[in-house]
Amino acid sequence: MTTPAIGSDVFRWPVIGPALRWKHARTTLQLVLLAVAALMVLHGLAGPQLAPANLATVLTWVHYRGLLIVALLAAGNLFCTGCPFILVRDAARRVHAPVARWPRWLRRKWPAIVLFVAILFVYELFDLWALPRATAWLVLGYFGAALAIDTVFAGASFCKYVCPIGQFNFVTSMLSPLELRAREPATCTACRTVDCIKGRRAPEAPLQVVRRGCELALFMPAKVGNLDCTFCFDCVQACPHDNIALAARVPALELADGRRRSGIGRLAQRWDLAALVAVFVFGALLNALGMIAPVYALERRIAAAIGATTEAPVLAVLFVIALGIAPAILLGGAATWSAMVTGSSLRRQLLSFVYALVPFGASVWAAHYGFHLLTGLLTAVPVTQSAVLDLAGQAWLGAPRWTWVGLQPGTVFPIQLGLLALGTMGSLGVTYLIAERESPSRTMAAAAPWVTLTLLLFVVAVWMLAQPMEMRAAGALG
């Protein structure tokens, strides 16, 4: 564990540092996002069912997704910090405190992976981006799920094991330039109260926790990287020694860190985390694929081959290919190749090297969501004007200026290419580091299969971005 230099600790920066460490900082951010979510839900349910003119669809599918990934890549997991689901959950826990523990057999990422895939599937099947009311219900569903799970099960069971957005954030936050870590390891070694995980107790009543510790079971002295960290700052508030830094670091380096992680274990021993990363990477390509013209021809071919007349079975086949067969062949092939040249086991190679694809996967998400954010950034203005008109009946913010949009789609293409190139280079770098760790004597030979796979995926992604876009709310079959 390295001690961050003072200058790299954001908590010690003027203005920003004290603001972040303010004990109500998270609640304030959550209240802002709760207010935005409430407006989105209201407009989604009661406003016009025209996606570009509704806050629910515009803010969810254009702004939230784009800003989420910008925040993750530029700073850290700030949208989990401001998560309004958890604010409502905390309020509900005042009424009904949970007593049960999340079932042991579910303490893996499998439920979240299933939900992640389900959301991607439903998004494509029902064209959620075009449905304000359905989008509003999706947001309400998240609130309901967080409430239902976390008022029954203690800790952050919803965040750690269920929330698909949370898992997306956890994986992407491995590329973030900031992480919470102990400022002075020696202070942690000497600490006997471990408030960062147990919570801070009231001096007069030692059984009462007045500032909770990490709900995701990340024990600060043994915490490695950002995985599973929601940036809630509970540990910061609980630590009596002011020994936790929001430290700058080299993004993505933790992907090659083979150490045991508190609350997680070793990455190379977790099939569920490997599967999550595979879904993250191939899901990025699949989600972007849904926006380009050739996918409709492909859907028609699949429909003809299986004799389908509705979209669901066609989409299911596409998902099985993209998230099952293709990853199995490509990842399995690369792992077999590297296992052959290094003499290591296929399992070890797969579970070690799959994390190298995270930077590439994140770059595909960033290129896709960044496109919508940049081309639609200013649409928040007219849709807000329109929402005020819809909800209040008065044009208090003026008539909607629908011509306020964003960058021209063509101008975003070089930015997308740059993001893909950065992500690919990141993946190549992490591949090398993992190969060096796993096979010091045969580094290049061990890395070669994964370098080949990364470059192949890069070519596929560039090809996809170069295709004409065809934003269709109806599948190939209507």
Partner 1 sequence: MHLQLGSWRDRHRVTRRGGPAARRPLAYIAGSCLALLAACTTPDGAAPPHLTISWTPMPAVDRESVAEIQLNEAMARPLTGARLRLEAFMTHPGMAPVSAVVEEQGNGHYRARLRFTMAGDWVVRLQGTAADGRRVEVQQEVRSVRWPVE
Give me the residues that bind partner 1 (CB under 8 A), please.
38, 42, 45-47, 50-54, 57-58, 61-62, 91-92, 94-95, 97, 99, 101, 127, 129-130, 154-155, 188-189, 194, 197-199, 202, 205, 207-213, 215, 221-222, 293, 372-373, 375-376, 379, 383, 390-391, 402-403, 405-406, 409, 468-474
CB of 137 to partner 1, least distance (A): 13
Question: Which CB atom, from 343 or from 468, has the smaller least distance to partner 1?
Answer: 468
Pair of tokens at residue 25 = 């900082």
CB of 11 to partner 1, least distance (A): 23
CB of 7 to partner 1, least distance (A): 28
CA dihedral 10→85→139→374, nearest 10 degrees, is -10
Question: Which CB atom, from 110 or from 402, has the smaller least distance to partner 1?
Answer: 402
Question: Which CB atom, from 215 or from 438, has the smaller least distance to partner 1?
Answer: 215
Say if CB 211 and CB 231 are below 8 A apart: no
Question: Which CB atom, from 174 or from 197, has the smaller least distance to partner 1?
Answer: 197
Say if CB 344 and CB 439 are below 8 A apart: yes
CB of 57 to partner 1, least distance (A): 5
Say if CB 203 and CB 267 are below 8 A apart: no
CB of 143 to partner 1, least distance (A): 11
Question: Which CB atom, from 150 or from 438, has the smaller least distance to partner 1?
Answer: 150
Exposure of 270 in the CB half-sphere (CA atoms within 13 A): 22
- Residue 1 CA to residue 265 CA, distance in Å, equals 16
Length reported for the chain: 478
For 315, the 3-state DSSP assignment is: helix
CB of 395 to partner 1, least distance (A): 13
CB of 286 to partner 1, least distance (A): 17
Say if CB 21 and CB 236 are below 8 A apart: yes
Q: 387-392: list long-range contacts, CB under 8 Å, 24+ apart.
A: 387/39, 387/43, 387/47, 387/54, 387/55, 390/43, 390/46, 390/47, 390/48, 391/42, 391/43, 391/46, 391/47
- Residue 65 CA to residue 74 CA, distance in Å, equals 14
Question: Which CB atom, from 121 or from 219, has the smaller least distance to partner 1?
Answer: 219
Neighbour count for residue 424 (Cβ, 10 Å): 23
The b/e string for 12-45 (b: 16+ C-beta within 10 A; e otherwise) is beeeeeeebbeeebbeebbeebbebbebbbbbbb
Question: Which CB atom, from 45 or from 308, has the smaller least distance to partner 1?
Answer: 45
Question: Which CB atom, from 448 or from 476, has the smaller least distance to partner 1?
Answer: 476
CB of 260 to partner 1, least distance (A): 12
Residue whose entry in the numeric block shows the structure tokens 């993209």: 322
CB of 161 to partner 1, least distance (A): 15
Who's near 242: CB < 8 A, 6+ residues apart? 183
- Residue 245 CA to residue 11 CA, distance in Å, equals 6
For 14, the 3-state DSSP assignment is: coil
CB of 441 to partner 1, least distance (A): 33
CA dihedral 355→357→358→360, nearest 10 degrees, is 170
Question: Which CB atom, from 76 or from 370, has the smaller least distance to partner 1?
Answer: 370
Question: Which CB atom, from 13 or from 123, has the smaller least distance to partner 1?
Answer: 123
Question: Which CB atom, from 210 or from 444, has the smaller least distance to partner 1?
Answer: 210
CB of 219 to partner 1, least distance (A): 8
